């Protein structure tokens, strides 16, 4: 009997899948995105209420604090690269765990929540706690306004 051969497109597809698998394995060796350190909490803002803090923990702290919860997929490239970049940038803009340093993003915090930009859609997709109801969103907005103080600037280092 003659050897049965796969049609050409199936052969190409199998080689393509094998190549993708090899690339996926290879990129795991790149170390960026696996530094899941959470520096110590230095100082939090003077929260107006425990409810505001709880909502911020649920919707904001994974990126905007030193208390990030690192999910399993944050160890798998390329997701690890994106998550590490997002957390690094978010902590630089505003970090609820380092309120003793200037917070350049504090002035935009309330507006970002009001406009639906925070928490970002990709975060809400994977984190149920980030999906705020309209009532929770309004409560967080009012709490951030009260916590951050006049002009919504909080501690901007001035």
- d(C-alpha 7, C-alpha 25), whole Å: 27
pLDDT higher than threshold 50 for residue 137: yes
**Whole-structure pTM over 0.95, yes or no?**
no
pLDDT higher than threshold 60 for residue 158: no
CA angle 100, 156, 99 (to 5 degrees): 25
pLDDT higher than threshold 80 for residue 134: yes
pLDDT digits (tens, 9 = 90+) for 45-80: 999 999 999 999 999 999 999 999 999 998 888 989
Name which residue leads in pLDDT, 8 or 38: 38
- d(C-alpha 60, C-alpha 45), whole Å: 14
Q: How is residue 41 annotated by DSSP?
A: P
Instruction: Report the percent of the chain where pLDDT is more than 90.
Output: 58
């Amino acid at each position: 009997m003659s050897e049965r051969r796969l049609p050409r497109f199936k052969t190409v597809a199998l080689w393509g899948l094998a190549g993708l698998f090899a690339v996926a394995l290879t990129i795991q060796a790149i170390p960026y995105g696996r530094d899941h350190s959470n520096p110590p909490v230095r100082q939090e803002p003077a929260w107006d209420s425990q409810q505001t803090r709880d909502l911020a923990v649920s919707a904001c702290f994974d990126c905007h604090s030193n208390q990030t919860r690192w999910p399993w997929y944050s160890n798998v490239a390329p997701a690890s690269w994106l998550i590490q970049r997002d957390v690094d940038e978010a902590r630089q803009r505003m970090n609820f765990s380092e309120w003793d340093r200037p917070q350049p993003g504090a002035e935009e915090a309330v507006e970002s929540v009001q406009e639906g930009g925070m928490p970002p859609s990709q975060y809400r997709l994977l984190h149920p706690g980030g999906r705020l109801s309209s009532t929770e969103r309004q409560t967080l907005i009012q709490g951030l306004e009260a916590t951050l103080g006049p002009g919504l600037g909080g501690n901007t280092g001035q």
